[in-house]
Structure 1
Amino acid sequence: MTAYVVNKYGDSNVFEDRTVETPSPDDDEVLVEVAATSVNPIDAKIRRGDLPDLSPLLPAILHGDVAGTVAAVGSKVTKYNVGDRVFGLAGGVTDYPGALAEYTVTDETLLASVPENIDFEAAAALPIAGLTAWEMVVNEAAIQSENQVLVHGGTGGVGHFAVQYAAATGADVVATVSSAEKADQAGNLGATDTANYETESVQAYTAEYASSGGFDVVIDTVGDENLARSFEAVAPYGTVVSTESSSVPRPDLLHEKALSLNLVLTIVPLLTDEPLSRLQEGLKNLSKHTSAGDVSPLIDSVYELSDVEQAHRRAEHPDRIGKVVLEN
């Protein structure tokens, strides 16, 4: 089969197309004929060599998101049959092979059925970003209808799902954006209001949109240095949930405001001995809410799998809105 392999770390031009052996599923695994995958920040970070502890051995096949058709099943697989449409997590980290290939294998627990109302390209945009947003909004922040919520990066890969999940609770949701086009998209996703972080100060939009000295919950899909803005915007005793925390600026505000800071890394079960069933439940919820129309993936652009270099370049561009998808 053809695979797009990283043999060294670097820019988006490090991908090489190679002919490799088609994998065979173990007893509890499913062989998926890849129809589509999508780019997540973790894919770019591994490609660049920024996450050595999470990176697979080189040469490596990257990308965690997968959507496609079941081509073969292991002897103990009970949930799926050949020909089923599935989406989920392929891996692309540590010992788990990724989805940048014609076929990939993955544990049946890491898959769910593709909702009937979406195609493979949309399904491939769901797994990591959708699961991360679910963890942030539902499991960690437990957002309620009476909450005032700020979502940083409201039209990003995770952010656009977070806006939809938060809005579905009935909460007032303010999304930070960087352009009028992104503001329109955030409104379409359910944001009550938007704030342009390039032209408006944290103090200004917090005073305008939050009525209790700050937002009850801040969903920070940017993290790191942006956490300082989150700590400024959140109300005393409030909750900040983020995906990035290699540095925590303004720790004084954490103490002064008695804040809760919760961190999310969806793929923890792939990196530890935590049960994969947590991811299975998340995928089922994602499928259910997508089927019901509560959430819908926002796709920026679609590339051929062979154009993975261009896809990664687009995914890292600041003008991107939603997810970048590759189809096979």
Structure 2
Amino acid sequence: MRKFIWYSPSGFASIVFVLYLIPLLFCYVQNTDLMARYVGGIKLELVTLAAVVFFNLLLLLLVFLVNGYVVARPVIPWRERKSVCLVFGVLYLFVGFYAVYQLVVNLDLLQLFYFGWDDHFVKSIGALIPEQGLLRYFFLLQFLILGYFLIIDHVNSRLLLFVLGVFVVAGLAVTTRREPLVVFFLALMLRFRDRDWVFYVLGAAIFSSILALVYLRFDDFFNDFLTSEEFYPFQFSAYLIQESYFKPSVLLSTPMRYFIDVNPGISWQIRYDLFAHDGPGPTVSMAGVFYAYGFLIPAFMLGIVVVVISNFYKLYGSRRSGVLSCIYAFLLMKLLNIMRSGELPIIMIDMFIFLMMAFLVSFISRRVSSGN
């Protein structure tokens, strides 16, 4: 019997599936309303629950099938040169800390520390970032993480790496955004995955950081958590299926969406169509996108993403490299984002830009080495 590897694409996707399925089962067993904060009186039917599970199992099957396919050789062979990694690492760290500074100043985040943790203020940050045109700084936080892992294998001082790591974590935490923090800790877990104590310590750090930042969003954390919008993705998909929201499109689930539609995202568009809600809100899981957009095109787009992730895992997964661990952690987070939000167009664009940022280092390293 094959060993379960939690960080393989299929293993990670299975964990995410179970994580988000449990609250949907809770909703069915407790007979609570679907999308209670947007509509009322609609109960989850058993056939709808079965449909959501079916579409997610198709997604998992696609991941398992594609995970067995590997290209014969890397399209872009990875090469690290110490001098290049240090130069780009410092440059990326500078850009990342600059992004933190801009978010802190423009959103007045320091008031969280001066005046206490205002849960309503924290809830509003996700809306303020796009409203104030700060999405570019949120994206630049990725430079902070990538910069740290570019130098992690080329700096001998553990104290310096520890202090720098503390500053990186503090910079990511003060923005109150969970995804960059999880990517950072996940990358550390992957880099040092041969040490059991690191796995448990960093796993606890991921769990604690998620709970801490989620805790700020609820007045009654323990009663509201499982029924909150944090776990709406599968509920939202169930609602689409139950209400027969079906708008198949050839291009709207591809990156071409941004050339033919001014709406910022799939979930955003669906929320507006159903609830006339023009703003941040719950996301639709990939199961709902499969149903709403006709399955074939979303499945093809998902297949491309999974091919990239699976091949990266097979080609570089065994190497103990900080930057490769960082890249793969980022790709796993994108796989999670796809399963919980189905935002294939923007996720594919994010992946392309991030991989270009990382492989630029490899390209220059090879050019420098060939020139010597």
Normalising by structure 2, we get a TM-score of 0.26
Normalising by structure 1, we get a TM-score of 0.28
Where relative contact order (Cα < 8 A, 6+ residues apart) is larger, the structure is 2
- Higher-Rg structure is 2
